[in-house]
A and B are shown apart, each in its own frame.
Chain A
Amino acid sequence: MNKVPKMRIKDLDFFYGDFHCLHEVCLKFDANQVTALIGPSGCGKSTLLRCLNRMNDLISTSRVQGEILLDDQNIYGPDVDVVTLRRHIGMVFQKPNPFPKSIFENVAYGLRVNGVKDKSYIQERVEKSLQEAALWDEVKDRIHESALGLSGGQQQRLCIARAMAVEPAVLLMDEPASALDPIATQKIEELIHKLKETYTIVIVTHNMQQAARVSDVTAFFYLGELIEVDQTKKIFTRPSSQKTSDYITGRFG
Chain B
Amino acid sequence: MAEKRLQRELDNLKKMILSLGAMVEERVRMAVKAIETRDADLAAEIIRRDYEIDENEVEVEEECLKILALHQPVAGDLRFITAVIKINNDLERVADEASNIATCVQHIAGREKVAVPFDYNAMAQKAEFMVKTSLDALVNLDQDLAFRVLTLDDEVDQIHSEIHGHIRVAIVEQPARARYLINLLFISRYLERIADHATNLAEEVIYMIEGEIVRHGKWALEV
Contacts and interface: CB of A to CB of B under 8 A. Distances in A.
A59 B3 CA distance: 37
Interface stretch (A27-35, A165-173, A244-252): A244-252
User: Is the interface on chain B under 10, 10 to 19, 20 to 34, or 35 or more residues?
Assistant: 10 to 19
B74 A212 contact: yes
B75 A237 contact: yes
Contact of A237 (B2, B6, B72, B78): B78
A245 B80 CA distance: 13
A208 B72 CA distance: 10
Main secondary structure of the interface of B (DSSP, over half): helix
A235 B75 CA distance: 7
A249 B2 contact: no
A49 to B, nearest CB: 23
Interface string B55-79: 0000000000000000011111111
B211 interface: yes
A60 interface: no
A250 B77 CA distance: 10
B126 to A, nearest CB: 33
A235 B73 CA distance: 13
B3 A236 contact: no
Interface in A43-81: none
A209 B72 contact: yes
Given A249-B3, A250-B3, A251-B3, A236 B76 contact: no
A190 B73 CA distance: 22
Nearest to B1: A250
Main secondary structure of the interface of A (DSSP, over half): helix
Nearest to A252: B3
Contacts of A249: 3, 6, 73-77
Contacts of A250: 2-3, 6
Given A249-B3, A250-B3, A250-B6, A238 B77 contact: no
Contacts of B72: 209
B3 A248 contact: no
Contacts of B75: 235-239, 244-245, 248-249
Interface in B1-55: 2-3, 6-7
B9 to A, nearest CB: 12
A239 B211 CA distance: 9
A238 B3 contact: no
A236 B78 contact: yes
Contacts of A251: 3, 7
Contact of B79 (A235, A238, A244): A238
Interface string A220-239: 00000000000000011111
Contacts of A245: 75-76
A239 B77 CA distance: 12
A237 B78 CA distance: 7
A67 B145 CA distance: 50
B3 A237 contact: no
A236 B6 CA distance: 17
Given A237-B79, A238-B211, A208 B3 contact: no
Nearest to B210: A238
A195 B91 CA distance: 46
A248 B79 CA distance: 13
Contacts of A208: 74
Nearest to A244: B75
A238 B212 CA distance: 9
A251 B211 CA distance: 19
A16 B211 CA distance: 40
Chain A to chain B: the 3 pairs with minimum beta-carbon distance, closest first: A238-B211, A250-B3, A236-B74
30 contacts: A208-B74, A209-B72, A212-B74, A235-B75, A236-B74, A236-B75, A236-B78, A237-B74, A237-B75, A237-B78, A237-B79, A237-B211, A238-B75, A238-B76, A238-B79, A238-B210, A238-B211, A244-B75, A245-B75, A248-B74, A249-B3, A249-B6, A249-B73, A249-B74, A249-B75, A249-B76, A249-B77, A250-B2, A250-B6, A251-B7
Given A237-B79, A249-B73, 8 more contacts: A212-B74, A237-B74, A237-B78, A237-B211, A238-B79, A238-B211, A249-B74, A249-B76
